Structure 1
Amino acid sequence: MSGAQFELSVSCHIAAPREIAWKVWTDLKDQWFCPKPWRAEVIEEDLRPGGRSAVRMFGPDGEDTGPMEGIILEVVPGERVVSTDAYASGWIPQTPFMTSIWSFADEGEGTRFIATARHWDAETMKKHEEMGFNPGWNQMAEQFRQLCETSAATA
């Protein structure tokens, strides 16, 4: 999946099998999902089409994003998760910001991880860039990579 007009993404190679990357993504999201010193709290991650995805982030100075609510659109275990914030649980429409695509593919001895944010329009994509998409999502991907590789070393 690529080629969307208003897309931002980050990618990294992980020196760990895809099965470990998938397990870290599904089970340890609170440990890598937002750039430190921020921390994430997974409220719910119902990995099925129509399932609720809700995460809250807390900053070092007391910042609180409130629940970031969305719906899972597609799950291909070990390969891809697609979600959107265009709906809250129960298919309740809300102002959309993006569709997220998380993909995992075998690459050499490890895994290619790609995290993508697709936006409805150029203005929303620009806003995401100005919010710090590149440094933030690159740091998130690096934290994810490190956690996967540490998990592989202790597996």
Structure 2
Amino acid sequence: MKELSVTAFIEAAPETVWDTMVNRQEEWFCPAPWRCKVIEQDRRAGGVNRMVFLGPDGEEMPQEGIYLAWDEGRRLASTDAVVDDLQPAGPFMIGIWEIEPEGNGTRYTALARHWRDEDRKQHEEMGFIEGWQACATLLKSLCESE
């Protein structure tokens, strides 16, 4: 399987989780000591998604691509295989972030789907589970403190 995923139960309404998820990305989308800066987001399928991850020692890791899906209140998906103006780029993954009501709260799931097994393995070795779980924990904390 070429997919990696993390999930978390968040004790907050789906509306709160969605709002925090999409409007406060700079607060949760990148684990410390790194941080995320949103540059541009055209929130629709085909729209540009441009961010940069900033490291503690001045590192900059551009995160550029397009949205494949923007299902308001439920799911967003993006890829780095295509950048603005539909230019092909070196594909690594499709990222999918989705929420659904569960009991008195919300189930958050983040998936990374890779083209090749070796990309999935590389992502896992880079610390995918730890990093994306740290982000889920940040999101959970923000939502539950609302």
TM-score range, shorter chain: over 0.9
* Residue 36 of structure 1, CA deviation: 1.0
Choose which of 103, 110, 123 in structure 2 pairs with 1:108. 103
Choose which of 9, 27, 31 in structure 2 pairs with 1:31. 27
1:15-61 C-alpha deviation (Å, 9 max, x unpaired): 00000110001110000000011110001121101101111011112
Identity %: 47
Q: Partner of 2:7 in structure 1?
A: 11
Which residues in structure 2 correspond to 1:18-97 (within 5 Å)?
A: 18-65=14-61, 67-97=62-92
Moved over 3 A (4+): none
1:94-145 C-alpha deviation (Å, 9 max, x unpaired): 0000001111000011000000000001000011011110110110110011
Match of 1:16, SS? coil
Residues 1:149 and 2:144 aligned together: yes
Q: Partners of 2:106 and 2:43 in 1: how far apart?
A: 21
User: Any unmatched runs of 5+ in structure 2?
Assistant: none
More strand by share: 2
Q: Counterpart of 1:22 in structure 2: which amino acid?
A: W
Aligned length: 146
Quote the RMSD (CA, aligned, Å): 0.8
Q: Partners of 1:82 and 1:39 in 2: how far apart?
A: 20
1:50-78 C-alpha deviation (Å, 9 max, x unpaired): 1011110111122211x211110111111
Q: TM-score, normalised by structure 2?
A: 0.97
Q: TM-score, normalised by structure 1?
A: 0.92
Q: Partner of 2:126 in structure 1?
A: 131
Q: Partners of 1:12 and 1:94 in 2: how far apart?
A: 31
* Residue 82 of structure 1, CA deviation: 1.1
